[in-house]
Every structure is written in structure tokens, then in C-alpha cells.
Amino acid sequence: MQDYLNQLNDSQKLPTIHKDGPVMVIAGAGSGKTRVLTYRIAYLMEMGVDPFSILALTFTNKAAREMKERIGLIVGASKAKTLWMGTFHSIFARILRSEADYLGYSSNFSIYDTQDSERLISSIIKELKLDKDLYKYRNIRNRISSLKNNLVTVKAYYNNQELIQQDKESRRPMFGKIYKTYVNRCFKASAMDFDDLLLKTNELLNRFPEVLNKYQQRFKYIHVDEYQDTNHSQYLIVKALADKFENICVVGDDAQSIYGFRGANIENILSFQKDYPNSSVYRLEQNYRSTQNIVNAANSVINNNLNKLDKKVWTENEIGEKIEINQTITDSEEGRFVASSIFEAKYNQQLRNDEFAVLYRTNAQSRSIEDALRRKNIPFQIFGGLSFYQRKEIKDVLAYLRLIVNPSDEESLKRIINYPPRGIGQTTLEKIQIFSNENNLTIFDVIEDINNSNIGINNGTKQKLHDFLCMIKSFQIENENLNALEILNEVLKRVGVINLLKNEGTPESISRIENIEELINAVQDFIDGQREIVDSKSSLSEFLEDVALISDLDKDSNKSEPKVSLMTIHLAKGLEFSNVYIVGLEEDLFPSALSSTTRSDLEEERRLFYVALTRAKKKIILSHSKTRYRWGKLNDCEPSRFISEINPQFIKINNIINSKVNFNKSSESKIRFKKPERKLALKKITKTIFPSNSVLDYIDINIGDSIIHNRFGKGTVLTTEGIGGDKKAEVKFETSGLKKILLKFAKYQKVG
């Protein structure tokens, strides 16, 4: 036991060995909070606490998996397996499947993701013949999600005149009808959306005291990671479960509360001591991740927030480099600067791609960075783009699998009833849908009895429906004796999706086939992983639940090649990188225009900036642009207020905007030009930020010269023609082939 406890400093050890009573650990960035949480659970088990009575709630599957593995190394893998440890949604889904009968659900209920919910809401809007411009399905889904997370059921909605009035004023008086229909339709399909996993758990614990008592008795020790990110619904569930014994340990950092837009309530952590007056509070203030300059700079920024818990983060790490601030003329120049800077640092300091991360406020900002990195042939990965399980071909195959497990899943059925095409058109499906709604049946029920249903479908179509039904039922029979991989292979073989894509013969269809191939690999990986799970059968239902709960951050790239990471700051939380670029630091972009109207919103934006700063271990470069395209128009930009909030002693101004780059050290002075609107480059930062040559001033090249071009890479000059700025050169590039370039417009450097 002492071996792992000796790895902790005094501040970390105190909450680790605090066995009974409520505990709050305020953990600064990089202070080892995961280690404390992990070792505390291991300590409890070493002290004789039954692992079945320990509950640990996290926000990502990755965090839960890593913690369980680390606990397993201390107490043994077999004991660690019995822990109830996972994301809020996965743990609550597990509880709901065990107690589904109380709420009138099947234990095999489907879990609808965002796309499934949106499809259903869209179809309801269409059925009710509502204006799609007023009743936008995404807005409706977001409103339903918000209501559910605030525990506003359909009944509660209709009893709240204020909510009804809000929708009337928004010209959506039929919202209540949509909400009610959506809830009823989900129930009929034996499906829950992600918000239901929280709402229904609250309902279960509130309506059925015997169920609450059962889980209170079971979970004598409760742990919550990232407590500052919990919403109202999560808070109430945790509080209810902990009410009996009050052995609750929450870990978090109020300075990293950045998910207010998703319903996270910072007051949960700020009010913990009010909820538990006898609680003990521990502070982890030593940062093990970042240099002193980074830690001090981050502190100087977050101190501008008024609504916060007192703590002073410090580090014994080296002082490190000052934070560099770079200004560019345009967002495209910003992209080129970042790419050139990474390129230079990689080769001068022998760094790997995965030691760099580029962080931005919104996904749309990635374009200029992506373009510039591609031109530099620097591999990168984007976090938060269209994830694997959201791609159409994957959704199609998964719909078959979900229908096998739960034939009541109408959204899955509608998705694939005519894919691949089998002559069952939209009109037929609409007739079945109307009949099913009128008779309170599922679509699958109607198809099963299609010959006895008078709904105006001809015999040929009835036969096609019958064939489809027989295929699904045969899969259901096979599924009883097959694992997830075996049934997937059967589905792919008999449905013919791959053959359909092969016949298309397009690059896109080939890509889709590769994705389906990867789905097979994913199932195999799942089966391999399930060998460690107690009582797992590697069944299809287990795999589908795993897929439903997976997040983008949990998916690690299988490709061995290191990549530069591109992501929003929200997605970067919990990660760390040696070198971090934070781009787009301009007013109305970061902080965003929508978040600058109230103090609470602005403070959340500042916390977001704090998170960005504290992702870096060694070096930070902040970037902002003088101009940026928005809605196709070039707008002037002001530097973000957050830059000025950093104490000047921790920063270094990297460049003042210049009109050109000169590679001679003596040329550091500003140069004024008569045409300031012309695209300008940067002051010398690195030797790979290339000039855009003017007619009067360009880098002359001749036959035999070697150059490095901003886009085409390294090449050799074969021929030249013309004189002055109109000079042209034919260049053989190593990777891009033969190109003819006009020197006055080309961006290159002469080498050798």
C-alpha cells in the first residue's frame, strides 16, 4: 500500500486517505487530480471496502478506462473489474436496463443519438404540417434537451405558463405538441435519447423509494470526476444516491468550468460546502505539467474572474520560455504562420508532430490551418469533425444491427427499410406510419400483420415487406447464438451493402467500403476488449450500447504516424501538449460576441482561455489577425482582451506587422508602403515563412538554383525567361512535379 501512497505529495495524500464523510478536492490544472481519485479508490479497497459498493462517475470512457487500469495494477485486475466505474450516461444506462420494468421499458431499449432524435423530430414536424422554417428540428431538439436536463417533463411543461408563453413569443405555439409526440413516439419505440438516461434515472429514484434505497445501500462510497461540469440533473442524482451515507468525494476545478452551454452548472462545485456543511476541502495547487511562465500567466488571467474558489496554482518546474504573441494581417496568413512555425520547430528541435496542438474557439477556424499544414506536408488530425459512427454508411449498417436487437426501433427501421433499394417507397412507409400511429402499434408490428391490414398497399409491395420482415427475423434468430462480429458478417453478406457500393465505383464509394471494413475491425476490437469484462458475452446488444456511448475524445487513432492535433478548446480539456498554438484571439471571436454581454458568460470565456493556456507543457504561441473574413466580407479585428490580461512580464511580442520578410538579420525595421491593403507578410520569425515578392523587390533565381516553395516544397530551377518582376521560372519540385512560377507572385526561399 505504501508504495503508491509514497508517490503522492502531502496535498495529494490527505484526500486520498480521507475515508469517510464528504470530501471536495479543488484541483488546479496539471495537479494530479486523476492520480488522487485513482489512489483514493484503491486505498478504500485496500482498507476493506467492498469494490461493489464503490461508484465512480466520469465524463469520458477514456478517463474511466484509464482509472480502472491503474487501480487494477494496485489491487488486482479481477477486483478492479467489479467497480461501478464509467461515464454518467453509461452507469445510468446500466441502472435503467436493470430497473426498466419500473418505467415500462424493455431492458433492450435503444439509445437514440442526436441524429436519431433529429430525424424523429423532423418527421413529427412534417406529420403535424408545421412550417419547417419556424419549427427548425435542431432548435426543437435543443429545446427538448434543455427541458429534460432541467427535469421539465411534458406534464411539467404544460403546467408552466411561462414556458408556454416563451414558445408563443418565439412563434412556436405547437412546441408542446411536438414535445409530447416525441416523448410518446420514443416510448412506443422502446427508445431513450441521451437526455432520457438522466431524466429517467431521476424519475426512477424519485418515484420508487425502494429502488433509491437499493442503490443507496449499494453505493456506500461515491466519487465524481470533473464535478464542475455536472448539470442540474446529474447533481440531483448524485445527491440522492449520497444522501444516506454522505461518503461522497468530488474532484474538480472551478477555473475549468467551460460547459455552461451544455447545461453544466458551476454552482454545483461552488455550493458543495453548503450542501455538505461537514465536508472537508483539500486543494491541489502544485502544477506538474507546465513551466513557471505558463502557470503564472494563466493565474494572471483567471484572477480577473470574480466568481471563483480561492486557490493559487504554482509549480517547481523550470521557468521556461515566455508566451509569444504573434499578429498577422489575415486569417490565411495566420494559418501559414502556424504551419511554418511548426515546420521550423520540428526540424530545428527534432520534435514530433504529436507534440503540437492548434486550439481555436470554433470549428470553422480550422480551414486556414488545415490548408497551410497540407501545403507543408504536415500530417494532422481534427478532433470534433464528423466522427466515424456518424458517417452515413456506418449509420446504415448500425441501423440493421439495432433493428435486430430492438424491432421497435422505428428510426432504425425507416432508415434501412429501402436501403439497399428493395422497392419500398416513401409513400408506402408513410401509409404504414399513419396506420401505426392511429392504432398505437410499432411499424414492425404493422409489417408483421401487413396482409390483414387495410392500408392501401398492393400485393407486390406486401411481398417485399414480407421478405424484409423475414430477413430481419432470421437475423434475430441467428443473433441468439452468434457474437457481435458473426452477426455483423451475416448482415453484410446478405444485405448486399458492399456490393452496392462496389458497383458505384466512385472514390466516395470506395471510401465508404473502407469505413465498413473498419467497422468490422471495431467490432473485433470490441470483442477482444470484452474478454476483460465480467460476464460479457460479446453480444450485439453490448456492442451497440458501447457504440451509443462512445465519444470523439475516446477514440484514439490507430495509425502509427504522429500528427499535429487540431481542435476546439472545449475538446482539448483534459489533454496536454508540449507546444500549443492558440489562434483567432480577437474580440467577438474569442471571447465570442455572444458571450460578452453578461459577466457570467464572459467569465466562462475567460475560463476557456485558462484551459487553453494550461494545456501547454513548454511553449505557447498566441495568434491574432488584423483582418478576418466573415460572411464573405473582410472585417477589421481587435486583439482579444484576454491578451492584455496576461501580466506583461510573462509575454514576448513576437512580431510587429511588416510589409515583407527579409532574411537578412539587419533588416528588422518596419517598412511602409503606399498600398497597405496589399496582402502583407510577417517580420522574420523563421526561415520558412516565405515572402510574397513585389515587382521591384524579389528574390532572383537562375538555372540550377534550389528553392523551397511555400506550397510545392523543394525544387530545382530548370529554365527561366523574362527579366525583373515579370521573370518566370520552370521548376522541378520533388513532390509536386514540374511547375512554372511567376516570381513576383511566388512565395519561396532560395536555398543552397
Q: Which residues are catalytic?
A: 33-34, 225-226, 256, 615
Question: What b/e string do you get for 638-676 counting C-beta neighbours within 10 Å, with b at 16 or more?
Answer: ebbbbbeebeeebbeebbebbbbbbeeeeeeeeeeeeee
**CA 722 to centroid of chain Cα atoms:** 53
* 3-state secondary structure at position 330: coil
Q: What is the DSSP string of 549-580?
A: H--GGGPPP---S--EEEEEHHHHTT--EEEE
Q: Which of 662, 689, 668, 616 is nearest to 335 (CA)?
A: 689
Q: Which of 194, 315, 308 is nearest to 252 (CA)?
A: 308
Q: Provide the grid cell at 29.
A: 490544472
Residue 271 CB: number of other CB atoms within 10 A? Answer: 12
The DSSP call for residue 716 is E
Q: Cell numbers 510587429 label which residue?
A: 656
Which amino acid does the sequence have at 596?
A: S
**CA 319 to centroid of chain Cα atoms:** 32
- The number of helix segments (H) and strand segments (E) in the chain equals 32, 22
Please state the φ and ψ torsions of residue 389, each to the nearest 5 degrees.
-80, 0
Q: What is the dihedral of CA 720, 721, 726, 728, to 10 degrees?
A: -40
Q: What is the CA radius of gyration of the chain?
A: 29
384 touches 571 (CB < 8 A): yes
- Distance, in Å, from the CA atom of 658 to the CA atom of 164, rounded to the nearest integer, reads 57
707 touches 355 (CB < 8 A): no
616 touches 578 (CB < 8 A): yes
**CA 658 to centroid of chain Cα atoms:** 38
- Distance, in Å, from the CA atom of 199 to the CA atom of 193, rounded to the nearest integer, reads 10
- Distance, in Å, from the CA atom of 694 to the CA atom of 671, rounded to the nearest integer, reads 13
- Distance, in Å, from the CA atom of 554 to the CA atom of 262, rounded to the nearest integer, reads 19
In this structure, which long-range contacts are made by residues 90-94, counting pairs with CB atoms below 8 Å and at least 24 apart in sequence? 90/61, 90/64, 90/545, 90/549, 91/55, 91/57, 92/197, 92/198, 92/200, 92/201, 92/237, 93/197, 93/545, 93/549
- Distance, in Å, from the CA atom of 607 to the CA atom of 253, rounded to the nearest integer, reads 10
The DSSP call for residue 258 is -
Q: Cell numbers 518596419 label which residue?
A: 670
- Distance, in Å, from the CA atom of 151 to the CA atom of 463, rounded to the nearest integer, reads 45
* 3-state secondary structure at position 432: helix
Residue 482 CB: number of other CB atoms within 10 A? Answer: 17
Residue 384 CB: number of other CB atoms within 10 A? Answer: 15
Name the helix (H) or strand (E) containing 344.
Answer: helix 331-349
End-to-end CA distance of the chain: 62
* Angle (deg, nearest 10), helices 426-438 and 114-127: 80
Name the helix (H) or strand (E) containing 356.
Answer: strand 356-360
Q: Cell numbers 458568460 label which residue?
A: 601
Q: Provide the grid cell at 221.
A: 462510497
